[in-house]
């Protein structure tokens, strides 16, 4: 399956540096990208970054979305607004949102459903924390999160799953290829259980301290169909090295 490498810029980047990063990546993408590439800037920069990457093949995504289309929800961004700005994807259920905003699986399901309704592909994030891994509960936790966060109508065409062990995010503690194989094989089985054959076509991304040095071994793991990249997505050389580790088909 063709890889998807997605950059989650998180709450980083003022106008000048965001545009510089976007135009650097767009220049590289215009010469051809090995796999699919997505950038998820902060919502303040979606419009401007969208203009810079337009025509380069790089896709635009939001880092979160509200479950409703509009209304009295100060500070929130709706999936319809993301689509209106040219986004094709929305990340939902990132562990930082689950932790900092108390987002439960039920909330993540509603957000994913709203993203679908707006025509966006939902990137649903899940992953165990350090204590859960030490207790040997990683598979149990990701299974519960997966089935608890998939809305009705989810399919390979509108849903991407990102396995992001919380202990690996922003820590430099990358999961080993063995850890990743074990969880991704398990998630693939669960996706087939949920969707039948279509479960084979759902992209499964790995995220958690992916960098230029470890991307090729992680992206070579069976059932790893790309990466969700945080810190390294802010460094164009590093991010592009990760893109170049992706598979064309």
Q: Is residue 236 near ligand PEP by the rule CB under 6 A?
A: no
Q: Angle, nearest 10°, between helix axes 15-30 and 46-53?
A: 30
Q: Considering the complex, what minimum distance in angstroms separates the CB of residue 193 from ligand PEP? A: 26
Verify binding: residue 128, ligand PEP, rule CB under 6 A: no
Cα–Cα dist 35/58, whole Å: 10
Does residue 207 touch ligand PEP according to CB under 6 A?
yes
Count residues binding ligand PEP (CB under 6 A).
13
- State in angstroms the smallest separation of the CB of 91 from ligand PEP: 8
Closest CA to 41 of 50, 33, 30: 50
Alpha-helical regions (H) of 121-205: 130-134, 138-149, 177-195
Q: Does 208 bind ligand PEP (CB under 6 A)?
A: yes
Main-chain phi, psi angles of 203, to 5 degrees: -70, 135
Asked about 73 being catalytic, the answer comes back as no
Question: What is the rounded CA–CA span in Å between residue 53 and residue 39?
Answer: 9
Q: What residue number has its CB nearest to ligand PEP?
A: 230
**Pick 80 or 230: Cβ nearer ligand PEP:** 230
Alpha carbon 121 to its chain's center:
10
**C-alpha span between 189 and 187 (Å, rounded):** 5
Q: Write down the catalytic residue from 94, 116, 184, 186.
A: 94
Q: Is 213 in the site for ligand PEP (CB under 6 A)?
A: no
Q: Quick one: which of 170, 189, 216, 222 contacts ligand PEP (CB under 6 A)? A: 170
Contact set with ligand PEP (CB under 6 A): 8, 164, 169-170, 207-210, 228-232
């Amino acid at each position: 399956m063709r890889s998807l490498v997605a950059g989650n810029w998180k709450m980083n980047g003022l106008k000048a540096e965001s545009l510089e990063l976007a135009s650097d990546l767009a220049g590289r993408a215009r010469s051809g990208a090995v796999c699919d590439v997505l950038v998820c800037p902060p919502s303040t920069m979606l419009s401007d970054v969208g203009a810079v990457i337009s025509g380069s093949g790089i896709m635009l995504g939001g880092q979160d979305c509200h479950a409703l289309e509009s209304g009295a929800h100060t500070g929130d961004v709706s999936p319809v607004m993301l689509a209106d700005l040219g986004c094709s994807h929305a990340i939902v259920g990132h562990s930082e949102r689950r932790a900092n905003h108390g987002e439960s699986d039920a909330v993540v399901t509603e957000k994913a459903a709203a993203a679908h309704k707006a025509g966006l592909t939902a990137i649903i994030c899940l992953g165990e924390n350090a204590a859960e891994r030490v207790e040997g509960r990683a598979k149990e936790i990701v299974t519960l999160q997966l089935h608890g966060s998939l809305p009705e109508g989810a399919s390979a065409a509108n849903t991407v799953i990102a396995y992001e062990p919380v202990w690996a995010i922003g820590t430099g503690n990358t999961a080993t290829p063995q850890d990743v194989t074990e969880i991704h094989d398990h998630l693939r089985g669960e996706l087939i259980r949920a969707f039948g054959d279509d479960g084979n076509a759902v992209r499964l991304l790995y995220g958690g301290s992916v960098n230029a040095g470890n991307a090729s071994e992680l992206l070579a793991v069976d059932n790893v169909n790309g990466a969700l990249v945080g810190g390294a997505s802010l460094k164009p050389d590093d991010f592009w090295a990760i893109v170049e580790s992706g598979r064309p088909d």
